[in-house]
Amino acid sequence: MDHANFDWDDANIGHIAEHNITPEEAEETLCRDPLDYGFDPDSNGEARWTYLGEAGSGRILVVVITIRGDRARVVTAYDAERRDRLLYLAEKAGRQ
């Protein structure tokens, strides 16, 4: 994903801030070849995609997005649980 194609406003910035995540970290995670971690075709009336990846800081995050127009809107983002971190690290090692 291109960094210019994100939809941010006070609502989603504030929500991820509750999880101590910045918009930059969420974008980095999505732009750094994350694992496709799920798809919900009808979550609250819109499709949502879940990704597991690594921010530039090294934090492994779960990031959930929806697509609005031609932009990705981060719905939520949070630190991955231990089992998800281990899965990501194993997948990353397998890609090398």
Q: What is the pTM of this model?
A: 0.91
Count of the separate structural domains present in the chain = 1
Q: Give me the mean pLDDT over the 24-48 stretch.
A: 92
For the chain, the first-to-last Cα distance in angstroms comes to 21
Residue 86 is part of which domain span? 3-95
Provide the pLDDT for residue 71.
94
Res. 45: pLDDT tops 90:
no
